[in-house]
Amino acid sequence: MSEKVTPEHLQQVHKQALETFNKIETLESLQVFTGNLVGKKSAMGDWFKQLKALDVEAKKELGPKLQEFKTYWEQACLDKQNQLETQALNQKLASDFIDVTQAYPSQKGALHPLSQVQRHIESIFTGMGFEIADGPEVETEWHNFDALNVPANHPARDMQDTFFVNSKNDRSDLNSVLRTQTSNIQIRKMLENGAPVRIIAPGRVYRNEDVDATHDAMFYQVEGLVVDKDISVSHLKGTLETMLSAVFAKPMKIRIRPGYFPFVEPGLEVDIWWEYIDKNGEEKGRWLEFCGAGMVHPNVLRNSGVDPEEFTGFAFGFGLTRLVMMKYGIEDIRLLSSNKREFLQQF
């Protein structure tokens, strides 16, 4: 409990406060002074409590003086704070050194070539009415293999080809994988929304492979899926030709030949006609394998809750990383993850 407040006491405190106030030269000292005099935990709070217990005449005498004291010092502290802040700013401006040397042009950053091509491809497909879909990179075996009609004895399900993981750090319970393709997103999208569906699924995929100039354990892939009524291979061919011609900014020829993939029937291999200049400066051309594709297998549609008697569809998947290498003439896949500035500055 603070000392009993009276008009005389207020006058004495006011006089002592003025002496201290006039000596304050820093914001820190002012903060302490303000807290002690008019802060929430100062004696003033107790004085107002005392005021409530006084009779009417005493309140009439003391109340206005107490309020006048409070108003005066709150404003005085605020004015002092503004004064000290202005002084501090002026001192800083006076002491700051201004270098008038002409600056070098700032170097602008740029998107990674993978990001550039991925965004271009996404723009192409959204222009054709496709949706961009995403999904988990750590996936269940069912979504990554079983739902895609991949049999249990398929080589892709061997630990030599796939990264198996689990949440309990128990090697005997390897029930999840790092997705080996983004086809898992196709399954999830059909289970979620049914048919019709028209999506592409770009993203990272993982393979248990030795890293060299043309192989990496992690790379980027784009998969596409269209499921609707009366979908045929001609729709697949037209879609891929449109996309490739836009990516390379010139008409691109493709050929389709038989292939095998457990999630499509029939399975198809798609090649592109690649023109280049050889070491002798002569124009050459050859067929390059581009992607796997085909008509969605009825079992995959059933596993995804879609009736294969009512709907058909096509699917394709190509390596985005490989497409970037082709587009920019990159011969070593490792450069794309090397973070070498002299390499990335070319793009």
User: pLDDT (tens digit, 9 = 90+) per residue, 172-187?
Assistant: 556 788 999 999 999 9
Give Cα 208 distance to the centre of its chain: 26
Q: Choose between 247 and 42: higher pLDDT.
A: 247
Same domain, 277 and 324: yes
Tokens found for residue 119: 């965004």
- With 90 as the cut, is the pLDDT of residue 156 above it? no
First to last CA, the chain: 74
Same domain, 158 and 299: yes
Strands 264-277 and 254-259, by their bridges, are antiparallel
User: Rounded mean pLDDT of 79-102?
Assistant: 83
The mean-pLDDT minimum among 127-131, 154-158, 304-308, 332-336 falls in 154-158
Q: Torsions phi, psi of 140, nearest 5?
A: -75, 155
Residues 64 and 75: their CA atoms lie apart, in Å, by: 16
pLDDT tens track for 188-221: 999 999 999 999 999 999 998 888 888 888 999 9
Residue closest to 296 by CA, chosen among 199, 153, 193, 164: 199
pLDDT of residue 286: 92
Same domain, 295 and 161: yes
Confidence band of 159 (pLDDT split at 50, 70, 90): low
Same domain, 156 and 204: yes
Residue closest to 202 by CA, chosen among 225, 188, 223: 223
Residue 100 lies in a domain: no
Same domain, 26 and 74: yes
Residue 1 lies in a domain: no
Residue 137 lies in a domain: yes
CATH number at residue 120: 3.30.930.10
Same domain, 89 and 214: no
Cβ 139 vs Cβ 188: under 8 Å: no
Residue 216 is given by DSSP the state: -
Tokens found for residue 206: 């993982």
Same domain, 60 and 177: no
Q: Torsions phi, psi of 133, nearest 5?
A: -115, 155
Cβ 268 vs Cβ 294: under 8 Å: yes
Same domain, 140 and 84: no
Same domain, 193 and 277: yes
Tokens found for residue 288: 């390059």
Residue 288 is given by DSSP the state: E
Which domain covers residue 39, as residue numbers? 7-95
Residue 52 is which amino acid?
Answer: K
| pTM score | 0.65
Residue 128 lies in a domain: yes
Same domain, 278 and 144: yes
User: Rounded mean pLDDT of 79-101?
Assistant: 83
pLDDT tens track for 243-272: 999 999 999 999 999 999 999 999 999 999
The mean-pLDDT minimum among 129-133, 144-148, 175-179, 251-255 falls in 175-179
Residue 13 is which amino acid?
Answer: V
- With 60 as the cut, is the pLDDT of residue 171 above it? no
Residue 163 lies in a domain: yes
pLDDT of residue 169: 57
The mean-pLDDT minimum among 66-75, 234-243, 253-262 falls in 66-75
Q: Which of 43, 61, 95 is the last residue of a domain?
A: 95
Q: Is the dihedral of CA 121, 125, 126, 127 positive or negative?
A: positive
- With 70 as the cut, is the pLDDT of residue 170 above it? no
Residues 293 and 269: their CA atoms lie apart, in Å, by: 6
Domain count for the chain: 2
Same domain, 86 and 190: no
Q: Which of 69, 95, 121 is the last residue of a domain?
A: 95
- With 80 as the cut, is the pLDDT of residue 46 above it? no
Residue 55 lies in a domain: yes
Residues 321 and 215: their CA atoms lie apart, in Å, by: 10
Indicate the SS3 state at residue 128. coil
User: Rounded mean pLDDT of 269-279?
Assistant: 90
Residue 74 lies in a domain: yes
Residues 288 and 271: their CA atoms lie apart, in Å, by: 5
Residue 271 lies in a domain: yes
Q: Which of 30, 65, 95 is the last residue of a domain?
A: 95
pLDDT of residue 173: 56
Same domain, 63 and 125: no
Range list of H helices, 177-232: 183-193
